[in-house]
Amino acid sequence: MIAEIPHRRQIRTLRSPFTRYGYRELCLLAAIFVLLAVISYWVFWPLTIAFGLLAAQVVWFFRDPPRKVPQGPGLLVSPADGTVTDISDVENAEFIGGPARRIGIFLSIFSVHINRAPCAGTVAYVGYHKGKFINALRPESSTDNEANSVGLTLPDPAGTKVLVKQISGAIARRIVCECKEGDSLARGEKFGMIKFGSRTELFVPRDLPVEIAVSIGQKVKAGTTVIGKLNQNPQISQIAQMKSEKME
79: region left, alpha or beta (phi > 0 left; psi from -120 to 50 alpha): alpha
Query: Are 115 and 192 spatial neighbours (Cβ–Cβ below 8 Å)?
Result: yes
Per the prediction, the chain carries an average pLDDT of: 84
pLDDT of residue 240: 44
Residues 6+ apart with CB under 8 A from 48: 37, 38, 40, 41
The one catalytic residue in 78, 141, 168, 198 is 198
Note if 215 is an active site residue. Answer: no
DSSP label at 175?
E
Phi-psi bin for 196: left (phi > 0), alpha (psi -120 to 50), beta?
A: left
**Comparing 44-58, 158-172, 233-247, which segment has the lowest mean pLDDT?**
233-247
Q: Is the pLDDT of residue 239 over 50?
A: no
Which pLDDT tens digit goes with each residue over 142-184? 888 999 999 999 987 777 899 999 998 776 568 999 999 999 9
What residues contact residue 32 under an 8 Å CB cut-off, 6+ apart?
Answer: none
Query: pLDDT higher for 195 or 232?
Result: 195
83-130 pLDDT tens trace: 999 999 999 999 999 999 999 999 988 899 999 999 999 999 999 999
Per the model's pLDDT, the better-predicted residue between 3 and 44 turns out to be 44
Secondary structure class of 228 (helix, strand, coil): strand
Radius of gyration of the chain (CA): 21
Are the C-beta atoms of 224 and 67 separated by less than 8 Å?
Answer: yes
